[in-house]
């Protein structure tokens, strides 16, 4: 067991528990760049560890009832077969490393676009005072686009072993825009369980799993995922959604080949700029109303108490 791998895995595990994203994009580069583990072994070991790590976070959200099992079922219907197909396709295409690198670059570009779109949508929602208050049971599931989300995510994971969280949560966000952050994270963590299990079977069959590395990842990440999931299942959107955006931004930068130092500097600059913007708004509008978390009683947020029509996601 490597203590530093345990410590690094705890940091990544906390982010995965909070946001449902970033496991492969952050864990694998950490193993390769910081600890000198071979890429094939790092990817395979991370996948096997994820089979233990993600169910822990999913269980917390299932207990808190922030998981839409219908969404999970339709996504799994598309993702699991396509994960196997993606692995088979990568072997058939030949020049596996080049093909995998091209797919990862395309995925990175998509995630960067998604992160920018999330910021743009947040600004528009703030200006229009629109709140994502739909409850899980109120979501009207659209099977065709939901299965398509699973198929796209499964294909990417099968070809690159990454993207089960970060890509899926972006696609879910834009398909079901009124889902709250906690519902996005809970549903994303749960759908990733069968998907990563399918990919891990392939890793065990064809990869080079280092069980010492896997054990270190599990020891560090599982308690951290549990803590992160407990926080994300309770925290308001205004705290969780910026963290999701930062993790997706970091994932996208890593996929397009940006160095770890440059990613850290970029994220630091984003945090400083965003913090300055927030402070400026608070100084200009000190009495700006606070956005209530989904499920908060009407009296707690100043709304009149009485029957209201439930918003439905369409």
- Give the model's pLDDT for residue 291: 45
- Give the model's pLDDT for residue 307: 47
- Give the model's pLDDT for residue 309: 46
Count, residues in the chain:
314
147: confidence class by pLDDT, cuts 50, 70, 90: very high
- Give the model's pLDDT for residue 94: 53
- Give the model's pLDDT for residue 300: 43
- Give the model's pLDDT for residue 216: 92
Per DSSP, the residues of 174-228 read: HHSTTB-HHHHHHHHHHHHHHHHHHHHHHHHHHS---HHHHHHHHHHHHHHHHHH
For residues 280-291, give the mean pLDDT. 63
More confident residue, 214 or 240: 214
The three-state secondary structure class of 95 is: coil
308: confidence class by pLDDT, cuts 50, 70, 90: very low
- Give the model's pLDDT for residue 207: 63
237: confidence class by pLDDT, cuts 50, 70, 90: low
The DSSP call for residue 102 is H
User: Residue 124: CB partners within 8 Å, gap ≥ 6?
Assistant: 130
pTM above 0.85, yes or no: no
The span from the CA of 69 to the CA of 61, in Å, is 11
Closest CA to 239 of 287, 295, 182: 182
More confident residue, 249 or 244: 249
Strand partners, 139: 313
The span from the CA of 259 to the CA of 270, in Å, is 16
CB 28 within 8 A of CB 10: no
Least confident of 111-115, 161-165, 189-193, 244-248: 161-165
- Give the model's pLDDT for residue 54: 83
292: confidence class by pLDDT, cuts 50, 70, 90: very low
């Amino acid at each position: 067991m490597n203590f530093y791998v345990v410590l690094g895995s705890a940091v990544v595990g906390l982010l995965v528990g909070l946001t449902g994203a970033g496991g492969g994009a952050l864990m694998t580069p950490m193993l390769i760049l910081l600890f000198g583990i071979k890429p094939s072994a790092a990817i395979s070991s991370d996948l096997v560890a994820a089979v233990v790590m993600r169910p822990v976070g999913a269980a917390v959200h299932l207990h808190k009832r922030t998981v839409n099992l219908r969404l999970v079922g339709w996504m799994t219907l598309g993702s699991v077969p396509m994960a196997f197909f993606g692995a088979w396709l990568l072997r058939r295409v030949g020049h596996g490393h080049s093909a995998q690198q091209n797919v990862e670059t395309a995925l990175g570009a998509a995630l960067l676009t998604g992160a920018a779109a999330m910021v743009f949508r947040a600004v528009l929602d703030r200006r229009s005072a629109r709140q994502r208050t739909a409850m899980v049971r109120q979501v009207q599931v659209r099977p065709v686009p939901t299965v398509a989300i699973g198929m796209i995510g499964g294909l990417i994971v099968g070809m690159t072993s990454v993207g089960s969280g970060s890509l899926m949560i972006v696609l879910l966000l834009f398909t079901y825009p009124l889902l709250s952050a906690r519902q996005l994270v809970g549903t994303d963590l749960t759908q990733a369980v069968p998907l990563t299990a399918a990919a891990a079977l392939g890793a065990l069959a064809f990869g080079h799993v280092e069980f010492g590395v896997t054990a270190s990842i599990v020891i560090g990440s599982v308690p951290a995922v549990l803590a992160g999931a407990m926080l994300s299942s309770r925290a308001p959107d205004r705290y969780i959604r910026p963290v999701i955006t930062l993790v997706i931004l970091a994932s996208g930068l890593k996929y397009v080949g940006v160095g770890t130092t440059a990613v850290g500097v970029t994220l630091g600059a984003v945090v400083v700029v965003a913090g300055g913007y927030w402070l400026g708004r608070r100084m200009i509008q000190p009495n700006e109303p606070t956005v209530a978390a989904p499920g908060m009683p009407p009296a707690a947020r100043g709304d009149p108490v009485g029957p209201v029509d439930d918003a439905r996601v369409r």
